[in-house]
Amino acid sequence: MASEVEKKAVFDIDSAKEVVQELRASFVAGKTKDYEWRRTQLKAMLKLMDENEPQIVAALRDDLSKPELESSIYEIAMLKNSCKLALKKMKHWMMPEKAKTSLATFPSSAEIVSEPLGVVLVISAWNYPFLLSLDPVIGAIAAGNAIVLKPSEISPATASLLAKLVANYMDSSCIKVVEGAVPETTALLEQKWDKIMYTGNGRIARIVMAAAAKHLTPVVLELGGKCPVIVDSGINLQVATRRIIAGKWGCNNGQACISPDYIITTKDYAVELVRLPVYVYICNLVLFNLSSQALFILQVDSFKCELELFYGKNPLESKDLSRVVNSNHFARLLKLLDEDKVSSKIVYGGERDKSNLKIAPTVLLDVPQDSLIMNEEIFGPLLPIITIDKVEDSFDLITSGTKPLAAYMFTNNKKLKEKFVEKVSAGGLVINDTTVHLAEPTLPFGGVGDSGMGAYHGKFSFDTFSHKKAVLYRSFAGDAPLRYPPYTNGKLRLLKSLLGGSILGIIRALMGWSKA
């Protein structure tokens, strides 16, 4: 134990250098390029998960009080799928892609070859500490790289477990886990990597990118933002509410980069709330025919109803909600909630339990635009509802802020859907649901603007950790003298038509050239 502590205490610049040197030697020796090696590592990762699911669930419970279902499905099962997909498709992904060639280089052939970048650094986050650590690693392995994984110290149980399991199951001459906090991360960032992938917040992302700039290291930054949900009228309100709840409180209690952050919906009615009987929700047809005023009230009430169904009358005691990760974040969230002009806007929830780091699912109505809660990513169980005059106004509201990682819209109006897709710029958009695009490996998962750069999942992971090398094969035949000096007007004419690609032009020029 003492030597372990010692080891951790001295992970400095020299240790980081040594780690990179060792991995580089493994890479240069060709270990990670070999298809069989990549297959073995991915299979080992599957075995790691199969044989340790209870331990993983336990670590996530320690770090986040994450409900077992969320751990099993959103971390382990998703990761297994990612691994299986890579195993199935990797050979195909590794094949060179043929590229078209033009008349100007005839005769030649061309292809794009995927090659590993080399030694890559993956820095992951605390909220999905298992998934966000190993999912990028899957991509990096499939692409043939050597890897250092630096899990977040804010989820220490999972970080330790990862260090232990990766060392036991995977090839430690090519894949290493480095635990630690700011000093260790800084030491790692001083080194030259062939790619860095960082998942986290914008402040640290700037530090990561600045460090990468010194070595011209390309980066993928998976950040966040305020993911809005636009709720239109004329929809199945019950389904919409449930999907919003699942995406908000069902995803680590709102502590997820793609959790719905706030709702935008229409107002042309009073703010007074009227309690309506629950049975109204059963008949969706009735909902469509109700006045917009009642619909609006129904939305808030819809939340109240469904939240109570999901989490009971005492949500602070519900086992189906993660806790707030630590006291820093707890204090941060209370600051958002207890701001003067905000605390009076709570329409549901607001209860807190400091000793257990729990805040109940809380819905707020019409908080001021300049409040703290509307100006930073919430990343917690608080859901403000902002009202506007007409649905179209929501687009301007969203585009006036920074580009989020995701944006959601619930509507049956085709024109509105088109406008939403056209006008709103975000990493990913989902219509009539929330967060599920994460599970879609054929869609690139990543941000834009302040929500990040680069993307991964599925083949995008393989591509992100590969260099796409352009290769042109030329033959010695057909060596056109017009490329070389001495430069004559005839050659200029012929060159013009050759680059223009027109056969007639070439013939004309050739005839002209032969006259010259």
Partner 1 sequence: MLSSMEKSIAELRETFKNGGTKSISWRKSQLKALLQLINQNEDSIFKALDQDLGKSPVESYRDEVGVLKKSVTYTLSCLEKWVAPKKAEVPLLFFPAKAEVMPQPLGVVLIFSSWNFPFTLALDPLIGAISAGNTVLLKPSDLAPACMSFLVETIPKYLDNKAVKVLAGGADIGERLLQLKWDKIFFTGSPRVGRLVMAAAAKHLTPVTLELGGKSPAIVDTLSTTPSKAKVTAKRIVGGKWGPCTGQACIAIDYVLVEEKLASTLIELLKKTIKRFYGENIKSLKNISRIVNKHQFQRLVNLLKDPNVADSIVYGGSVDEEKLVIEPTILLDPPLDSEIMSEEIFGPLLPIITLKNIEESIDFINSKSNPLVIYAFTEDDTFKKRILSETSSGTVTFNDSMVQYRYSI
Instruction: CB nearer to partner 1: give 139 or 428.
Output: 428
User: Residues 362 to 421: which contact partner 1 by CB under 8 A?
Assistant: 399, 421
> Is residue 77 involved in binding partner 1 (CB under 8 A)?
no
Residue 174 a catalytic site member: no
Residues 6+ apart with CB under 8 A from 286: 280
User: How many other CB atoms are found less than 10 A from the CB of residue 230?
Assistant: 25
Radius of gyration of the chain (CA): 28
**What's the closest the beta carbon of residue 485 comes to partner 1, in angstroms?**
4
**Pick 254 or 458: Cβ nearer partner 1:** 458
Part in contact with partner 1 (CB under 8 A); list of ranges 208-216, 258-266, 286-294, 295-303:
208-216
Pick one of 58, 276, 294, 495: the residue that binds partner 1 (CB under 8 A).
Answer: 495
Q: Which residue has the tokens 């958009």?
A: 429
Residues 6+ apart with CB under 8 A from 62: 157, 158
* Residues in 426-445 that interact with partner 1 by CB under 8 A: 433, 436-437, 439-440, 442-444
For residue 277, which amino acid is it?
P
Query: Could you say whether residue 469 binds partner 1 (CB under 8 A)?
Result: yes
492 near partner 1 (CB under 8 A): yes
State the catalytic residue, choosing from 222, 251, 306, 377: 222
Q: Which range in 158-166, 305-313, 332-340, 465-473 contacts partner 1 by CB under 8 A?
A: 465-473
Residue 62 burial (CB count, 10 A): 15
Give the span between the Cα atoms of 13 and 20, in whole angstroms.
Answer: 11
Please measure the distance between the N-terminal and C-terminal CA atoms of the chain and give it in whole angstroms.
87
Q: Specify burial of residue 400 (Cβ count, 10 A radius: 0-12, 13-18, 19+).
A: exposed
Stretch of 113-121, 146-154, 245-253, 341-349 lying at the interface with partner 1 (CB under 8 A): 113-121
Which is closer to partner 1, CB of 353 or CB of 393?
393
Q: Quick check: 404 and 378 in contact, CB under 8 A?
A: no
The one among 26, 463, 491, 506 contacting partner 1 by CB under 8 A: 491
Rounded to the nearest whole angstrom, what is the least distance from the CB of residue 121 to partner 1 in the complex?
16
Stretch that binds partner 1, among 135-143, 277-285, 408-416, 450-458 (CB under 8 A): 450-458
As measured in angstroms, the least distance from the Cβ of 430 to partner 1 is 9
Q: Which stretch binds partner 1 (CB under 8 A): 86-94, 106-114, 169-177, 408-416?
A: 106-114
Report the site for partner 1 in 16-45 (rule: CB under 8 A).
28, 30, 33
Query: Measured from the CB of residue 356, what is the shortest distance to partner 1 in angstroms?
Result: 34
What's the min distance (Å) between Cβ of 442 and partner 1? 4
Total residues interacting with partner 1, rule: CB under 8 A: 66
The yes or no reply on residue 167 touching partner 1 (CB under 8 A) is no
Catalytic annotation, pick one of 257, 305, 306, 377: 257
Least gap, CB of 425 to partner 1 (angstroms): 5
CA-to-CA separations, 407 to 210, 246, 378, 403, in angstroms, rounded: 28, 15, 15, 9
Encoded amino acid at 436, one letter = V
Please name the helix (run of DSSP H) or strand (run of DSSP E) that holds residue 443, with its range, or none.
none
Single out the residue of 91, 206, 319, 354 in contact with partner 1 (rule: CB under 8 A). Answer: 206
The dihedral over CA atoms of 110, 116, 120, 125, expressed in degrees to the nearest 10, equals 80
Main-chain phi, psi angles of 248, to 5 degrees: -90, -75
Shortest Å distance, C-beta 422 to partner 1: 8
Q: What is the DSSP string of 37-51?
A: HHHHHHHHHHHHHHH
246 binds partner 1 (CB under 8 A): no
- Judged by CB under 8 A, the residue of 51, 501, 507, 511 near partner 1 is 501
Q: Which two tokens stand for residue 440?
A: 């879609």
Give how far the C-alpha of residue 507 lies from the chain's centroid of Cα atoms, to the nearest Å. Answer: 54
184-203 residues in contact with partner 1 (CB under 8 A) are 202
**Is 75 an annotated catalytic residue?**
no
Interaction of residue 485 with partner 1, rule CB under 8 A = yes
Q: For 155-292, where are the E strands, in sequence order?
A: 175-177, 195-199, 219-222, 228-231, 262-266
Distance CA 462, CA 383 (A): 36
Residue 7 CB neighbour total at 10 angstroms: 11
In whole angstroms, what is the distance from residue 429 CA to residue 405 CA?
9
The per-residue b/e assignment along 196-215, b for 16 or more CB within 10 angstroms, e otherwise, is: bbbbbebebbeebbebbeee
Binding-site member from 73, 95, 181, 213 for partner 1 (CB under 8 A): 213
Give the residue, chosen from 113, 157, 163, 372, that forms a contact with partner 1 under the rule CB under 8 A. 113
Quote the CA–CA distance of 170 and 314 in Å, as a whole number: 44
Angle at 166 between CA 56 and CA 464, to 5 degrees: 100
* Closer CB to partner 1, 91 or 483, in the complex: 483
Q: Residues in the site for partner 1, rule: CB under 8 A?
A: 28, 30, 33, 99-102, 104-105, 108, 110, 113, 115, 118, 202, 205-206, 209-210, 212-214, 216, 221, 223, 399, 421-422, 425, 433, 436-437, 439-440, 442-444, 448-450, 452-454, 467, 469-476, 479, 483-488, 491-492, 495-496, 499-501
Q: Any idea which residues carry the catalytic annotation?
A: 222, 257
